[in-house]
Amino acid sequence: MGRRRFKVDATQTQPLVFKGRTFTPSDLRLIQEIVDTYGNLGRQELAQTIAELLEWERPNGSSKWRECRDLLNRLADEGFVALPELRSGRPRGSKTSVPLSADGEPGQELLGSVGDVAPVKLILVRKKDDRLLWRELVGRYHYLGHKVPFGAQLRYLISVSRPSQAVVGCIQISSPAWKLAPRDTWVGWNAKTREQNLQMIVNNSRFLILPWVKVKNLASHVLAKLTRELIPHWQEAYGIAPVLMETFVDSRRFRGTCYKAANWTWLGTTQGRGRMDRQKQRIGVDPKEIFIHPLVRGARRRLCGDG
| Exposed / middle / buried, residue 87 (Cβ in 10 Å: 0-12, 13-18, 19+) | exposed
Residue 5 has pLDDT above 60, yes or no: no
Q: Which strand ranges, in their side-by-side order, compose the sheet holding 121-124?
A: 121-124, 153-160, 166-174, 201-209, 244-249, 289-294, 265-269
Q: How far apart are CA 73 and CA 210, in angstroms?
A: 42
**80 — pLDDT class (breaks 50, 70, 90):** confident
State mean pLDDT over 132-159: 87
- Each residue of 190-220: pLDDT tens digit? 988 998 899 899 999 999 999 999 999 999 9
Residue ranges of the domains in the chain? 1-92, 102-303
Asked if 44 and 88 touch (Cβ cutoff 8 Å), the reply is no
Quickly list DSSP for 70-106.
Answer: HHHHHHHHTTS--PPPP---PPTT-B-PPP--GGGS-
Burial 160-169 (b: 16+ CB within 10 A, else e): beeeeebbbb
C-alpha span between 273 and 224 (Å, rounded):
30
How does residue 154 score in pLDDT terms, banded at 50, 70 and 90? very high
- Rounded mean pLDDT of 14-24? 86
What is the residue type of 118? A
Whether 143 contacts 286, CB under 8 Å: no
Contact 131, 170 (CB under 8 A): no
- Average of pLDDT values for 7-16? 63
pTM of the model: 0.71
Question: Would you state the torsion angle of the CA atoms of residues 85, 88, 89, 91, taken in this order, to the nearest 10 degrees?
Answer: 80
Q: Hey, which CATH number is domain 102-303, 3.30.1330.60, 3.60.15.10, 3.40.630.30, 3.40.1010.10?
A: 3.40.630.30
Q: How high is the pLDDT of residue 277?
A: 41
pLDDT of residue 282: 42
